[in-house]
Chain A
Amino acid sequence: MPFGLPVTPPDRVYTFENVAPGPQHQQIYYSHP
């Protein structure tokens, strides 16, 4: 849709969100051949 065109305001807007566990230090290990 081009910019600048009128948009009818919606009657209802809502958001569902799930916030997973925050930053964690990851254990990273490598397996070398």
Chain B
Amino acid sequence: MFHGTESHLVNLCFQYPVLGFFNLPGAGTAIGIFPINDPSFNQFVSAVANVSVSVFWVKDTLANVGVFNVTADLFQIELNNPSRQVINAVVLSGTVSSLESELTNVSYRVSVVETLTENPPVQPPIWIAPGGWTGKYNLDATGALGPLLRGGNPENEFS
């Protein structure tokens, strides 16, 4: 991440599907994304996220750096593999702000809670692979990632 400003406080919103490194038995690691069976089955229960500013450069006495509005939610996203596969996946969103400063690194954690069933079965991760998914995704005409399906905050099951 890179965000730098001078005398105007500027907010920069970010929104990324979370990818992970997965151990492949006997074959090292691969980068992939978890498709989630939702909302047809409600595999997605909740997700929590935090993001912290790790590295920033102060450029003046009035400098200000911040990160806020951090959420992890379930979105429908379209992968840019040849079949333009549409999946539901956890997306990390937030805002960083900068004034007379440069923000170059943030750290994050996203934890996901799921319920699983035999039918429909759990979908395996989709790997980044030559000729397949590149790790990127398609935006709609407005530049949006995809419709929000469910917020990451757990719904109250006991009320």
Contact = CB atoms under 8 A, between A and B. Distances in A.
Contacts of A24: 55
A12 B113 CA distance: 6
A20 B55 contact: yes
A32 B90 CA distance: 45
Interface in B93-139: 105-116, 122
B54 A27 contact: no
A10 B90 CA distance: 17
A21 B57 CA distance: 14
A12 B116 contact: yes
Contact of A10 (B105, B109, B115): B115
Nearest to B117: A11
A26 to B, nearest CB: 7
Contact of A19 (B107, B112, B116, B156): B107
Contact of B107 (A1, A11, A20): A20
A26 B107 contact: no
A3 to B, nearest CB: 11
Contact of B55 (A12, A14, A16, A21): A21
Given A10-B115, A28-B58, A20 B109 contact: no
Interface of B: 18-20, 34, 45, 54-61, 90, 105-116, 122, 156, 158
Closest 7 pairs (CB-CB, A-B): A20-B54, A20-B105, A11-B116, A17-B109, A15-B111, A16-B18, A20-B107
